């Protein structure tokens, strides 16, 4: 059961910041050091100063808190007069060139322990990331970025409720560095909010992005309960800010996360190929003439897209080799024999076979030897530059696979999915004021 509520969001004052593209960022965990530097230089009120503040461990969280307080005092950030929900639309181009629109809304969701099954994770979390986000949350008393979750809406009931909103002028509209259009509305109509709240009550939410933020919010809630013993179900720390989007929408777009392999020891290439051939059929794309590399790469990637629709298919490029490979599991090879003891539902994922069998068993690698990227060309070029020994390219899992795994009570391997595009950070902030109450509709 998903209990949602409107809230008085903190947002950039249009009279002070008229171009939101100068101040918003992607979520903190995908921002590179180079991007951090660029965002810091872009604008004095960029969200980077809040979500990834500069400084040592002792003072960076305090700096974020000071920035937030000063921006409110200066009127850079202003608070909504009425509790609201925030319809949010993203328009982007898929890798195939199709124009896609994703629609949803930002709202408060009552926190529930994950084991209850009403809010479902699909990836593991790490303690270091949770500790970092918890310190920031405690310093700022705010959700600076929403968790992204999906809900089932096969009949498009909630989508229909918001249909008229999309025809109105948004509060914000801008394009980000990737050319993605973002539009945000503010909605405080009691009738519409009540209708959405009622329809959401029988929904289960699947966390797409923000597992660490959700776990952080749970820990923060428990600490605040001890601090405020008279808390109730409408205490503001009982909720966290989420962006909710329908699972069946065309905008639920998953990219794979490709693997980049470091080699710290002498590497027997022929021996590795020999091991692979026992289990996989090789499709070879030679480019011995360097001038043909771009053309061959294009054919290789197009073929991978096509053959990758079948299970257990990978692209492979090894440093120094003048060829790309597509590996397809041989007929007769049983995945169960290669992944003994691994949960049945997880055996269906290409990434399970790659991570657990090829990387860990054949190559004897640990997680620290493996880099990650969502960009196929970047993966190949990193190997060509000599930064990595090899690149394994994956095709994405479907949302149906993700749903099947979570319904079975399992969690996907690390960084299996990359939901695209990411939800912008800085559209709206949830300020947690313990003395206030959340207004349910």
DSSP letter at 345 equals: G
- For residue 221, give the nearest of 204, 238, 234, 235 by alpha carbon: 238
Q: Which pLDDT score, from 0 to 100, does residue 406 have?
A: 86
Residue 64 lies in a domain: yes
Query: What is the rounded distance in angstroms from the CA atom of residue 312 to the CA atom of residue 154?
Result: 30
Do residues 248 and 270 share a domain?
Answer: no
Residues linked to residue 329 through DSSP beta bridges, in sequence order = 280
- For residue 158, give the nearest of 121, 107, 112, 122 by alpha carbon: 107
Residue 436 lies in a domain: no
Do residues 189 and 320 share a domain?
Answer: no
Count of structural domains within the chain: 2
Do residues 292 and 350 share a domain?
Answer: yes
Query: What is the rounded distance in angstroms from the CA atom of residue 68 to the CA atom of residue 45?
Result: 10
Q: Give the CA distances from residue 72 to residues 10, 79, 187, in Å, rounded to whole numbers and listed in that order.
A: 9, 8, 22
Do residues 310 and 296 share a domain?
Answer: yes
Do residues 209 and 265 share a domain?
Answer: no
Between strands 430-431 and 323-329, the pairing is: unpaired
Residue 406 lies in a domain: no
pLDDT 10s digit of each residue in the chain, 441 long? 799 999 999 999 999 999 999 999 999 988 988 899 999 999 999 999 999 998 877 789 999 999 999 999 999 999 999 999 999 999 999 877 889 999 999 999 999 998 888 999 988 778 888 999 999 999 999 999 999 999 999 998 898 899 999 999 999 999 999 999 999 999 999 999 999 999 999 899 999 999 999 999 999 999 999 999 999 999 999 999 999 999 998 898 888 899 999 876 777 899 999 999 999 999 999 998 888 999 999 999 999 988 877 779 999 999 999 999 999 999 999 999 999 988 999 999 999 999 999 999 999 888 788 988 889 999 999 999 999 999 999 988 888 888 888 888 888 877 788 899 999 999 999 999 999 999 999
Instruction: Report whether the peptide linkage leading into residue 421 is cis, meaning its omega lies within 30 degrees of zero.
Output: yes
Query: What is the rounded distance in angstroms from the CA atom of residue 73 to the CA atom of residue 63?
Result: 15
Do residues 168 and 112 share a domain?
Answer: yes
Token output for 38:
């660029």
Token output for 233:
């179900």
Do residues 235 and 298 share a domain?
Answer: no
Q: Which pLDDT score, from 0 to 100, does residue 413 have?
A: 79
Backbone angles phi, psi at 408, to 5 degrees: -85, 0
- Backbone region of residue 306 per phi and psi (left: phi > 0; alpha: psi in -120 to 50; beta: other values): alpha
- Backbone region of residue 426 per phi and psi (left: phi > 0; alpha: psi in -120 to 50; beta: other values): left
Do residues 385 and 280 share a domain?
Answer: yes
Residue 403 lies in a domain: no
Do residues 383 and 266 share a domain?
Answer: yes
Q: Which pLDDT score, from 0 to 100, does residue 264 have?
A: 67
Max CA pair span of the chain: 74
Residue 15 lies in a domain: yes
Query: What is the rounded distance in angstroms from the CA atom of residue 121 to the CA atom of residue 209?
Result: 9
Do residues 236 and 147 share a domain?
Answer: yes
Structural domain for 346, as ranges: 258-393
pTM of the model: 0.89
- For residue 140, give the nearest of 70, 76, 40 by alpha carbon: 70
Do residues 235 and 296 share a domain?
Answer: no
Do residues 236 and 109 share a domain?
Answer: yes
Residue 437 lies in a domain: no
Q: What is the DSSP string of 250-316?
A: TT-EEEE-EEEE---S---HHHHHHHHHHHEEEEEEE--SGGGHHHHHHHHHHHHHHHTTSSSEEEE
Residue 412 lies in a domain: no
Token output for 20:
């939101």
Backbone angles phi, psi at 5, to 5 degrees: -155, 145
């Amino acid at each position: 059961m998903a209990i949602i509520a409107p809230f008085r969001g903190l947002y950039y004052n249009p009279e002070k910041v008229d171009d939101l593209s100068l101040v918003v960022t992607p979520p903190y965990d995908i921002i590179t050091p180079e991007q951090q530097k660029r965002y810091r230089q872009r604008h004095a009120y960029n969200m980077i100063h809040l979500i990834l503040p500069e400084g040592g461990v002792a003072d960076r969280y305090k700096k974020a808190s000071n920035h937030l307080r000063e921006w409110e005092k200066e009127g850079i950030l202003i608070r909504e007069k009425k509790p609201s929900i925030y319809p949010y639309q993203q328009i982007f181009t898929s890798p195939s060139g199709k124009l896609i629109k994703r629609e949803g809304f930002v709202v408060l969701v009552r926190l529930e322990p994950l084991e209850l099954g009403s809010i479902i994770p699909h990836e593991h979390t790490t303690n270091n990331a949770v500790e970092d986000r918890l310190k920031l949350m405690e310093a700022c008393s705010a959700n600076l970025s929403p968790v992204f979750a999906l809900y089932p809406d096969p009949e498009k009931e909630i989508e229909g409720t918001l249909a008229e909103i999309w025809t109105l002028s948004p509060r914000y509209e801008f394009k980000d560095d990737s050319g993605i259009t973002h539009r945000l509305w503010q909605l405080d109509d009691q009738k519409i909010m009540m209708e959405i709240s009622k329809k959401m009550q029988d929904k289960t939410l699947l966390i797409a992005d923000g597992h660490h933020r959700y776990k952080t919010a749970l820990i923060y809630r428990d600490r605040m309960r001890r601090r405020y013993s008279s808390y109730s179900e409408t205490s503001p720390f009982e909720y966290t800010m989420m962006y909710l989007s329908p699972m069946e929408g065309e905008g639920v777009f998953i990219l794979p996360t490709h693997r980049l392999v470091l080699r710290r020891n002498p590497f027997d290439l022929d021996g590795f190929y020999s091991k692979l051939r026992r289990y996989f059929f090789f499709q070879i794309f030679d480019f011995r003439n360097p001038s043909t590399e771009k053309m061959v790469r294009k054919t290789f990637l197009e073929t991978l897209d096509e053959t990758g629709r079948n299970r257990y298919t990978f692209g492979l490029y090894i440093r120094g080799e003048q060829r790309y490979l597509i590996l397809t599991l041989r007929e007769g090879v049983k995945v169960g024999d290669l992944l003994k003891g691994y949960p049945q539902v997880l055996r269906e994922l290409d990434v399970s076979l790659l991570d657990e069998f090829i990387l860990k068993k054949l190559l004897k690698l640990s997680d620290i030897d493996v880099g990650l990227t969502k960009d196929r060309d970047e993966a190949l070029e990193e190997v060509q530059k000599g930064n990595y020994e090899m690149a394994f390219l994956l095709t994405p899992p479907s949302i149906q696979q993700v749903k099947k795994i979570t319904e079975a009570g399992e969690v996907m391997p690390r960084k299996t999915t990359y939901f695209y595009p990411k939800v912008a950070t800085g559209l709206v902030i949830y300020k947690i004021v313990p003395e206030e109450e959340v207004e349910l509709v």
